[in-house]
Amino acid sequence: MTPASSRRRDLAAIVASIAATVFGAGLGELAAAVVSPTASPFAVIGGGMIDLAPAWAKDLAIDLFGTGDKAALLVGIAVLLLIVAGVAGVLERRKAPWGRVVLVALGVIGAVVSMTRADAGTLSPLPSLVAGAAAALVAGLLVARLRRRSTKAPTDDGVSRRSVLALSGVAVMAGALAAVGSVAVSGGARAVSAVRSALRLPSPATTTPVPAGADLGIDGLGPIITASSDFYRIDTALVVPQVDPATWTLRVHGMVEQEVVLRWDDLVALPQKETVATLACVSNEVGGSLIGNARWLGVPLRDILERAKPTAEADMVLSHSVDGFTASTPLEALTDGRDALLAIGMNGEPLPIEHGFPVRMVVPGLYGYVSATKWVSELEVTRYDRAEGYWTSRGWSERGPVKLQSRIDVPRSGARVGAGDTVIAGVAWQTHVGVSGVEVQIDDGPWQAATLATAISADTWVQWSLPWNATSGSHTIRCRAISADGQTQTSDVAAPAPDGATGWDERTVSVA
């Protein structure tokens, strides 16, 4: 066999092995749809990678991809899988059966990882094993055709390659159909969506009004209430948990005098409170968009904890999600009178499924990684010296109070504006403390006091604006907030890890 012929066969083997892997992956997704969507080979491998990721890697992913971090991870896994599949194809042609061994090993790795997931069941390894076995079987059959050497005619080598490539196309189509079929077979998401759509929330016993002067009505300024569809989503769930309220329970246990178990009907029967609160992600960069303000409906967490009666030694509540995520929240923050809720509603509707339906936590004043557990199923009353939350065990700070921040929304960075009268505007926040003022600096001029909108409460962001007579040229605009307790936002620049970013938001604009 000539070197050129060998290279052509290697290339055909790579294509065949990749096609076989696509077929196996599709079949694995179909098996997961039958067994459990969270047992999807992509989901378990991706979830394992998220669990193993250090704090800097998480922060880098969010910085690069924002709320598209999960999609980027899945694409990365797919690319890596195809590279490994290509290498396996060459191995299978040259040193069979080692290519098949590699593909089976991928399935076994997925199966092992699936058993480490919080929601693992007896059949959780099955989809990954099906994927690995199917990929190995099809790759073996396809590459075997390339190893057969015909003596009947010199054109047989080309015919063999073409037949393998044609069969590879069939395998890819079959894998794609299996993946599409997995969506049709999986009824869990549709069922929970239907339950959510039919759900009617109870009326609140108390509500927080939005003052008439809370919204400045400036085009381009972040709205006073963030639409649910626009609210940022950062969590560790590659497959969004589908939790039926009929089967949901909350267990309160640990360092308590009395263990408490609540079901959905128990929770909605309690007096509900509607409040407005701003949530912020610790990964939010200065001037970033990983923050939102919404109306939340739920039961105060202090009422739930009062039933359980935490012991005097307890100082932390470790909340658990159905997907295995945990957050360590200071007990004091759940019992000191702030509007910390077990939330069931968001902006007048049941929680969106991706935002924690049917029940999540909302705790003003703390970054989400230590407080905003979605799909919450368990509250473990404990101590900081006995337990750690998901991200605190990975190097993030223990308590996560939200830092004083402000952001420029208008004009946008890099924008071109006309000379003359215009406006600079943005939002500022330090939830559970409040904001008393915002100052703006244009180029290296003096700091000027902006006008604040009427704050809804100390637990929400507040809009601000400053009129500006813009002159031609390039200008740099900075802002800084002043908290309700008199502190001025620091100019010290710090990355989000390990306890939130600091610095002044800055925009450069061109005035025509």
- Residue 56, pLDDT score: 67
Report whether pLDDT(70) > 80.
Answer: no
H helix or E strand, kind and range, residue 129: helix 126-147
The predicted pLDDT at position 50 comes to 73
Residue 435 lies in a domain: yes
Summarised one tens digit per residue, pLDDT across range 102-121 is 999 999 998 998 888 777 77
Distance between CA atoms of 270 and 431, rounded to whole angstroms?
Answer: 26
pLDDT at 152: 44
Report which residue type is found at 147: R
User: How many helices and strands (H and E) does the chain possess?
Assistant: 11, 20
* Spatial distance between the Cα atoms of 66 and 232, rounded to a whole number of angstroms: 9
Domain end position, chosen among 339, 367, 394? 394
In this predicted model, what pLDDT tens digit does every residue of 306-346 receive, in sequence order?
A: 999 999 999 999 999 998 899 999 999 999 999 999 999 99
Cα separation, 13 vs 145, whole angstroms: 10
Whether residue 229 sits in one domain with residue 174 = no
> Is 213 in a helix, a strand, or coil?
helix
Whether 204 is covered by a domain: the verdict is no
Residue 191 lies in a domain: no
Which one, of 461, 460, 436, lies nearest residue 450 by Cα?
A: 436
State pLDDT tens for residues 189-215. 678 889 999 999 999 999 999 999 999
d(CA 277, CA 453): 16
For residue 205, what are the contacts with CB-CB under 8 A and spacing of at least 6? 271, 272, 273
What predicted TM-score, i.e. pTM, was given to this entire model? 0.82
Domain edge (last residue) among 186, 204, 229: 186
CA distance 372 to 84: 38
CATH number, residue 438:
2.60.40.650
Residues 322 and 225 reside in one and the same domain: yes
For residue 156, is pLDDT > 60?
no
Whether residue 21 is found in the same domain as residue 84: yes
Reply yes or no on whether the pLDDT at 379 is more than 80.
yes
Indicate the average pLDDT of the chain. Answer: 90
Q: Averaged over 266-287, what is the pLDDT?
A: 96
More confident residue, 82 or 291: 291
In a domain, 27, yes or no: yes
Helix pair angle (156-185, 3-35), 10° resolution: 20
In a domain? residue 399: no
pLDDT, residue 189, reads 67
Do 243 and 162 belong together in one domain?
no
Looking at the fold, whether 416 and 497 belong to one and the same domain comes out as yes
* 409 and 388 fall within a common domain: no
Task: Provide the token pair at 151.
Answer: 């003596």
Crossing angle of helices 98-114/41-52, nearest 10°?
Answer: 70
Who has greater pLDDT, 9 or 376? 376
One domain, residues 252 and 367: yes
pLDDT at 37 exceeding the cut of 90: no
Structural domain boundaries enclosing 332: 214-394
Answer whether residue 45 is part of any domain. Answer: yes
Predicted local distance difference test score (pLDDT) of residue 187: 57
Residues 48 and 76 reside in one and the same domain:
yes
At which residue do the structure tokens 């079959």 appear?
A: 174
Say if 331 falls within a structural domain: yes
Query: 36 pLDDT band (50/70/90 cuts)?
Result: confident
Residue 184: pLDDT over 70: no
Q: H or E element: which one contains 320?
A: strand 316-321
Asked which of 370, 394, 418 is the last residue of a domain, the reply is 394
CATH of the domain at 291: 3.90.420.10
Instruction: Give the angle 121-122-126 at the CA atoms, nearest 5°.
Output: 100
Per-residue pLDDT of 209-243, as tens digits, reads: 999 999 999 999 999 999 999 999 988 888 889 99
Inform me whether the pLDDT recorded for 55 exceeds 70: no
List the structure tokens of 381. 């009353």
- Judgement on whether residues 98 and 227 belong to the same structural domain of the protein: no
- Mean pLDDT across 122-127: 88
How large is the average pLDDT for residues 457-477? 96
Which of 136-140, 150-154, 248-252, 371-375 is the least confident region? Answer: 150-154
Angle ∠(337,339,343) on CA atoms, nearest 5? 140
- Within-domain flag for 201: no
Report, as an integer, the average pLDDT of 12-22. Answer: 90
Over residues 126-139, mean pLDDT = 92
* C-beta of residue 336 within 8 angstroms of C-beta of residue 345: no
What is the side-by-side order of every strand in the sheet holding 405-410? 405-410, 420-429, 462-470, 451-452
Task: State the greatest distance between any 2 C-alpha atoms of the chain, in Å, as a whole number.
Answer: 91
Q: Is the pLDDT of residue 74 over 80?
A: no
Considering the domain architecture, whether residues 247 and 375 belong to the same structural domain is answered as: yes
Higher pLDDT among residues 152 and 186, named by residue: 186
